Amino acid sequence: MQSTVSKAWPILSSRASMSQTDSTAAALVVSEVCKSFQRPEETTHTLKERVLHPRRRAVSRRFDALHDISFSVRKGEFFGIVGRNGSGKSTLLKCMAGIYATSGGHIWVDGRLSTFIELGVGFNPDLAAYDNVVLNGIMLGLSPRQARARYREVIEFAELEEFENLKLKNYSSGMHVRLAFSVAIQVDADILLIDEVLAVGDASFQQKCFDVFNRMRDEGQTIVFVTHDMSAVNRFCHRALLLERGRAVMLGEPDKVADRYLTINFTHAAEHASQGEDNTTEGTPAASDVPRFGNSKATIAEVWLENDHGNRVTSVAREEVASVRALIEFHDDVQNPIAELSVENDEHVPIVVASSLERTEHTGHFRRGDRAVFLFNFGNLLAPGRYFPRVTLAHRGSGLAVIDRYQRDFSFVSINARNTGGVIDIPVHTDNWVLDSE
Amino acid sequence: MKVNVEPETRAALKPLSEQEVLATLEPVLGTGEPIRGPRALADDWRRFWHLTYNIARNEFKLRFFGSVLGYVWQLVRPLLLFGVLLFVYSVGRFAGKAPHNAVALLAGIVLFTFFAEATSGSVRSVVDRENLVRKIQFPRLVIPLSVVLLASFNLALNLIVVFIFALADGVRPMVSWLELPLILVILVVYCIGWSMLLSALFVKFRDIQPIWEVITQIVFYASGILIPVALLHERLGSTEFHLLMLNPLAILVEQFHHAMIDHGALSAGQVVGGWWQLLEPAGIVFALFVVGFWVFNRSAPLIAENL
């Protein structure tokens, strides 16, 4: 909850201050950058092979990691680069950092640039904090004198005063990371390139990191931040770039980019899952014959999700209206059956349970051979994630006389850029006031 | 079961056209400096030196303080070899008649140890520091150079022992000692040439390491350390001897003996048969340095990907 408190005002204030400064000045310009890797199929890693088979050309396959990426980061901007695993975001960062040579295009940088791809690069476990801090500081661009002068500050920030004489190998991983982060923030760079280093440390240290980021942003430092944590993007970034398979897909407001990212991410997953399902049903027919409940007087043939416009969808945005629908085929006469929907999350916890029993009128009389659709209409307040609708058809009365139950792998995704951490994202009104003091 | 993806989502999946992407960008000028990718050298020479020095210093510290007997262990290796060879010397027939035999032997061993440490240590250096190379931008040449620098620290310490031993053995300080720094500088340059070449080649050819181990052994016997150059001069035919003396290490060791211990020993000029002929090994040192740098510089931008 601290996070939402610290979130609100700095974004506004820094956005305001940004528009006042010259927003056209670019700190970093990336122009039509391409990067391809040669991946050798058979690695000839020895001189012997080269000498014995001088004519054999090493077969290599070209892999294009980045295609024509162009964007610019303004001075004082907190710029996010997001994308799924393998979308090329880290490669792009390494190109900007000068670790990889680009295969095409240009990158210009105005100011001193420093990179954190990993914290504590070059730390030697057999040396004490002092030697590691000094070397790491020099690596990151400090002069030896500056590095030595800032050593105390580093140790204090990392809260490692008691342990500074210990060799690094005796540090816990948390201490290790704290030390590394503390060195990293000592660097006086105009432009920082940061690759998901936030997912480290305990909660209080993470809060410290976030505070540092907030401070840097408010001080007008230019930061390029690579991540797939959408809440961090929303919290810090002024703008974000979305990469997908090495191409720039979108550039703009972080919340819109985050929405797009989630859509792409979950759509892929849904398509992937359904393909997998097709394979299993074809390959092993027995797999579809999951033991089913019920007396088979009717079967639930299909369950799907439909949006307001009558299209079948696999995802639903926050506060969007959609309905879970079930197609039921009756094999016998059934009087007033009841349908129940239970929406489970991926931990099989029912989040929403609804039943046609709550309606005042009966569902009606169905004859053998009838086909009917039962629907459950709702406005989506589910937290982002994947949900599995389970539909049960039962005889009215006891509630245990199940006719059929649908619990196959159909699922849908709730898209919601703001991940509160709660299971349901109900709009909450907050307020506060001061009580009269006497 | 068929999953229907809504058309809007499909549209989202389709990458924006180049124009659309460009349209979201404000017109910007390519201000500032271009990023040129990883290179062997840096524009900032001070940073280059600080990095080299501090990496070497940390490694040195590790060896020194890593174990109780740190420095002693560093000395034990050349001294042990010295002891064994001294025994072989006195038993074998090639115990020269020259004065201060033992001092010459020790000095030779110390110089060879430096050569072996600087070059063999460089072979794996870039690959072993993969973590640095892939994660941070810095001039790549720092890595092999720091290995040579580390070996130089050890050489300096070992030379102290050599000098103490020499004085104890009755060698008197001479004006020609002033020559020694120059010899050492040439030796360092020679080793840097090898270290650049070997470390760059090892990224692609992993059998460089065993090959280099064998070569180091050969170099030891071909450098007039165990068998004095004077003896080789007597026993070998002039062509074979000439070929052998193309080895810069042999000439440097011999000149070191000449300048430090005994003016009676052959000087570098006498060894190759005339001072102007020293251009041959000097040319080798120079060419190796140039080729080594060229190879390293060429592979530097791609080291991070080829590891």
Q: Give per-residue pLDDT as tens, B186-204.
A: 999 999 999 999 999 998 8
Contact flag A47-B208 (C-beta cutoff 8 Å): yes
- Which of A19-28, A353-362, B175-184, B236-245 is least confident? A19-28
CB contact under 8 A, A101 and B302: yes
The Cα–Cα gap between A31 and A69 comes to 6
Would you call B137 an interface residue with chain A, using a CB distance cutoff of 8 Å?
Answer: yes
The shortest CB-CB distance from B28 to any of A26, A134, A244 is to A26
Q: pTM for this one? A: 0.71
Q: Please give the average per-residue pLDDT across A303-324, as a whole number.
A: 86
Lowest mean pLDDT among A267-276, A335-344, A359-368, B257-266: A267-276
Residues in A closer than 8 angstroms to B304, CB to CB, are 94, 99-100
Q: For residue range A31-84, list pLDDT tens digits in order.
A: 888 888 877 666 566 777 777 776 666 667 788 889 888 888 888 888 999 888
The residues near B170 (Cβ < 8 Å, ≥ 6 apart) are B100
pLDDT at B116 over 90: yes
> Judged by CB atoms within 8 Å, which residues 166-195 of B form the interface with A?
none
Quote the minimal CA–CA distance from B248 to chain A in Å: 25
- Average pLDDT (A149-177) is 86
Residues 6 or more apart whose CB falls under 8 angstroms from that of A433 comprise none
pLDDT bin (cut points 50, 70, 90) of residue B279 is confident
CA-based nearest distance A236→chain B, Å: 20
pLDDT tens track for A92-101? 988 888 888 8
Q: How far is A434 from chain B (nearest CA, A)?
A: 46
Mutate to test the interface with A, among B54, B123, B202 (most CBs of A within 10 A): B54
A364-370 average pLDDT score:
86
Q: Give the per-residue pLDDT at B190.
A: 95
Q: Return the pLDDT at B15.
A: 45
Closest residue in B to A145 (Cα) is B50
**pLDDT higher than threshold 90 for residue B79:** no
Most confident of A194-208, A362-376, B23-37: A362-376
Q: Does B131 touch chain A (CB under 8 A)?
A: yes
Instruction: State how far residue B16 is from chain A, nearest Cα, in angstroms.
Output: 6
Verify whether the Cβ–Cβ distance A45 to B205 is below 8 Å.
yes
Give residue B192's pLDDT: 96
With CB atoms and an 8 Å threshold, state whether A25 touches B31.
yes
Q: Name the residue facing B55 among A50, A108, A135 (closest C-beta).
A: A135
Q: B33 to chain A: which residues are within 8 Å by CB? A: 108-110
Token pair listed for B227: 């068998």
Nearest to B5 among A97, A101, A314 (CB): A314
Q: What is the pLDDT of residue B112?
A: 94
| B contacts of A25 (beta carbons < 8 Å) | 31
* Inter-chain touch A94–B304, beta carbons under 8 Å: yes
Mutate to test the interface with B, among A99, A103, A121, A224 (most CBs of B within 10 A): A99
- Grade residue A423 by pLDDT with cuts at 50, 70 and 90: confident
Give residue A31's Cα distance to chain centre: 26
**Residue ranges of the domains in chain A?**
2-111+190-265, 292-415
CA pair distance A338, A394, nearest whole angstrom: 5
Q: Which residues of A190-212 are buried (b: 16+ CB within 10 A; e: fewer)?
A: bbbbbbbbbebbeeebeebbbee
Taking an 8 Å cut-off on Cβ atoms, the answer to whether B15 and A248 are in contact is yes
Choose, out of A100, A303, A408, the residue to mutate when testing the contact with B (most B CBs < 10 Å): A100
- Residue A155 CB contacts under 8 Å (≥ 6 apart), including other chains: A129, A133, A161, A164, A179, A182
Q: What is the pLDDT of residue B5?
A: 41
Residue of A nearest to B134 (CA): A99
Partners of B38 on chain A (C-beta within 8 Å) are: 98-101
CB contact under 8 A, A102 and B9: no
Using a pLDDT cut of 90, give the percent of chain B over it: 31
Going by pLDDT thresholds of 50, 70 and 90, the confidence category of residue B218 is: very high
A119-136: average pLDDT: 85
Partner-chain residue, chosen from B31, B61, B135, that has the shortest CB–CB distance to A118: B135
Residue listed under structure tokens 């980045």: A66
**Average pLDDT value for residue range A246-255:** 84
Average pLDDT over every residue of B212-239: 85
- Select from A45, A108, A409 the Cβ nearest to the Cβ of B34: A108
- pLDDT at site B23: 54
Q: In chain A, what percentage of residues exceed pLDDT 90?
A: 1
Query: To the nearest whole angstrom, how far is the Cα of A253 from the nearest Cα of chain B?
Result: 11
Instruction: pLDDT band for B68, please (50, 70, 90 cuts).
Output: low
> Are B196 and B296 within 8 A, CB to CB?
yes
Q: How far is B21 from chain A (nearest CA, A)?
A: 7
b/e burial code for range B242-255 (CB count within 10 A of at least 16 → b): eebbebbbbbbbbb
Residue B134 is nearest to which of A48, A99, A126, comparing CB atoms? Answer: A99
- The answer to whether the CB atoms of B1 and A312 lie below 8 A apart is no
pLDDT at B144 over 50: yes
Neighbours of B134 (CB within 10 A): 17
Q: Cβ of B298 under 8 Å from any chain A Cβ?
A: no
- Kindly provide the b/e burial profile for residues A267-282, where b requires at least 16 CB atoms within 10 angstroms of the residue's own CB: beebeebbeebeeeee
How high is the pLDDT of residue B155?
92
Q: Is B61 on the interface with A (CB under 8 A)?
A: yes
Find tokens 């940004």 and name the residue: A18
Which among B158, B142, B172, B178 is positioned nearest to B55, based on CA atoms? B142
Question: What's residue B196's pLDDT?
Answer: 95
ipTM reported for the complex surpasses 0.90 = no
CATH of domain A2-111+190-265: 3.40.50.300
| Interior angle at CA B180, CA B176 and CA B181, nearest 5 | 130
Check residue A45 and give its pLDDT: 66
B264 to chain A, any CB pair closer than 8 A? The answer is no
Q: Looking at the complex, does the CB of residue B304 fall below 8 Å from at least one CB of chain A?
A: yes
Mean pLDDT of chain B: 81
Q: Which of A6-10, B40-44, B245-249 has the highest mean pLDDT?
A: B245-249
pLDDT digits (tens, 9 = 90+) for A273-307: 554 444 433 333 333 444 556 677 888 888 889 88
A106 CB neighbours in chain B (<8 A) are 30, 34
Q: Which of A107, A249, A270 sits opposite B34 (nearest CB)?
A: A107
Test B21 with A251 for CB contact under 8 angstroms: yes
**Which range is least confidently modeled, A10-14, A45-49, A243-247?**
A10-14
Say which amino acid occupies A135: L
- Over range B115-130, report the average pLDDT: 92
B19 close to A (CB below 8 A): no
pLDDT band, residue B114 (cuts 50/70/90): very high
Class in CATH terms, A292-415:
mainly beta
Using the Cβ of B307 and the Cβ atoms of chain A, whether some distance falls under 8 Å is answered with no
Mean of the per-residue pLDDT values for chain A?
77
List, in order, residues 6 or more apart from A13 with CB less than 8 Å away. A218
Q: Is the pLDDT of residue A184 over 50?
A: yes
Q: What is the pLDDT of residue B115?
A: 95
Q: Does B243 touch chain A (CB under 8 A)?
A: no
Task: Output the pLDDT for position B96.
Answer: 56
Residues in chain A within 8 Å Cβ distance of B44: none
A359 min Cα distance to partner chain B (Å): 30
Region B251-260: mean pLDDT is 89
pLDDT for the residue B6: 45
Q: Is a pLDDT exceeding 50 seen at residue B9?
A: no
